[in-house]
């Protein structure tokens, strides 16, 4: 007769996760090592799924990614198809304003919850601010910046331009696979918190070579620094990637990590993300997808909407199939506006 009893140690960790108080690194590492075919993994996913559906009220979030420029980037992050060393893109492309506006209007018409405006590392912040001002005249959808490390003054400029949040991750392999120091990335996260920009995060880009110690550290960091959302993104190996021989994790492995991250985050997040969009994580604690157009660090197409990028319609279909409602109001941006955050920042300085 088959027994359905869980390992008592795992059961205790899951009960703690169920209480939404967050898990520590050791507990996260224990769960990350669970066999993918075990009863414990499915109990983990069920626990994460249940608390997300309760905490996020059944909402399926779509944050529409617009990569505004393609550039052979001199920072040469090893996992990025836009890196100069990757040799994928030889020319600089900036998508026309008309096309960016068209994408934004399409996203709003399809009830996307935010626009995630991504640039390469050397892209002009002034130009990004101009794009934000333009978009705010054309659409009424929250803007999230996805750009380089910034100072307090630059963060205030992003707020004035209409951004309400910023995506910024301390990447796995930071300082080894990238030229950036972990401390510099942390300083930028502090800037967001100081001036009132919502901090958006993901543990990324996960590959088979990353240890559970590295992964759990970033999961706990997201909770400690109060990420509006966190989650997990796997590394996508474009053709010619330095990591091709290392391989990629599976969507099932990604779903297990998403579930662990969800229990680590406790009651802190307003949403929980996974990338690229897939259904397994939607029953493992994730409720946030990123449909994509324009440039992407995971694609060999200049416009990922013609390549790997999933459409809003495809993401909506996955949400619906898995019992999430994409038409409910977003949980991420309630009571947030650039004017309120600027007033709060000014009050903090006074």
pLDDT digits (tens, 9 = 90+) for 28-47: 999 999 999 999 999 999 99
The position carrying tokens 């333009």 is 134
Check whether 346 has a pLDDT greater than 60. Answer: no
Q: What is the DSSP code (8-state) at residue 73?
A: B
Structural domains of the chain, ranges and CATH numbers in brackets = 22-345 (3.20.20.70)
pLDDT band at 334 (very low <50, low <70, confident <90, very high): confident
Q: Is the model's pLDDT at 248 over the cut of 50?
A: yes
Alpha-carbon distance of 119 to 293, in angstroms, equals 12
| Antiparallel, parallel or unpaired: β 69-70 and 292-294 | unpaired
Q: Using DSSP, state whether 249 is helix, strand or coil.
A: coil
Question: Taking 70 as the threshold, does the pLDDT of residue 280 lie above it?
Answer: yes
The four Cα atoms 248, 220, 29, 242 give a dihedral, to 10 degrees, of 20
- 221-235: average pLDDT: 98
Give pLDDT tens digits for 88-123.
Answer: 999 999 999 999 999 999 999 999 999 999 999 999
What is the average pLDDT value for the chain, to the nearest integer? 95
pLDDT of residue 13: 98
Going from the C-alpha of 25 to that of each of 51, 118, 188, the distances in angstroms are 20, 31, 23
pLDDT beyond 80 at 279? yes
Confidence of residue 335 (pLDDT cuts 50, 70, 90): low
Q: Which of 242-251, 310-319, 329-338 has the lowest mean pLDDT?
A: 329-338
Q: Residues 52-80: what's their mean pLDDT?
A: 98
Segment 143-147 shows an average pLDDT of 98
- Answer whether residue 235 shows pLDDT above 90: yes
Per-residue pLDDT at 340: 45
pLDDT digits (tens, 9 = 90+) for 160-202: 999 999 999 999 999 999 999 999 999 999 999 999 999 999 9
H or E segment to which residue 116 belongs: strand 114-118
């Amino acid at each position: 007769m088959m027994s359905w009893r869980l390992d008592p140690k795992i059961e205790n960790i899951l009960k703690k996760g169920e209480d939404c108080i967050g898990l520590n690194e050791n507990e996260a590492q224990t769960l990350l090592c669970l066999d993918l075919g075990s009863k414990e993994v499915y109990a983990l996913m069920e626990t994460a799924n249940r608390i997300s559906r309760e905490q996020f009220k059944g909402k399926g979030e779509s944050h529409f990614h617009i990569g505004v420029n393609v550039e052979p980037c001199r920072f040469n992050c090893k996992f990025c198809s836009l890196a100069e060393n990757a040799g994928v893109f030889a020319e600089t492309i900036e998508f026309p304003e008309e096309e960016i506006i068209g994408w934004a209007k399409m996203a709003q018409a399809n009830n996307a919850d935010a626009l995630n405006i991504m640039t390469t590392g050397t892209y002009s912040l002034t130009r990004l601010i101009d794009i934000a001002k333009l978009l705010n005249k054309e659409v009424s959808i929250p803007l999230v910046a996805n750009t380089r490390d910034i100072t307090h003054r630059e963060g205030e400029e992003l707020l004035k331009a209409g951004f309400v949040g910023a995506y910024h991750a301390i990447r796995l392999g930071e300082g080894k696979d990238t030229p950036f120091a972990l401390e510099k990335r942390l300083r930028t996260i502090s800037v967001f918190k100081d001036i009132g920009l919502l901090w958006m995060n993901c543990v990324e880009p996960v590959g088979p070579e990353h240890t559970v110690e590295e992964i759990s550290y970033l999961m706990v960091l997201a909770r400690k620094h109060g990420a509006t959302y966190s989650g997990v993104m796997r590394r996508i190996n474009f053709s010619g990637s330095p990591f091709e021989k290392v391989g990629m994790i599976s969507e099932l492995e990604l779903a297990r990590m998403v579930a662990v991250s969800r229990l680590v985050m406790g009651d802190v997040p307003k949403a929980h993300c996974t990338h690229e969009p897939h259904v397994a994580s939607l029953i493992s604690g994730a409720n946030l997808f990123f449909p994509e157009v324009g440039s992407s660090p995971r694609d060999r197409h200049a416009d990922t909407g013609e390549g790997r990028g999933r459409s809003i319609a495809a993401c909506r279909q996955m949400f619906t199939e898995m019992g999430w409602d994409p038409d409910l109001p977003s949980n991420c941006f309630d009571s947030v506006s650039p004017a309120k955050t600027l007033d709060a920042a000014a009050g903090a300085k006074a």
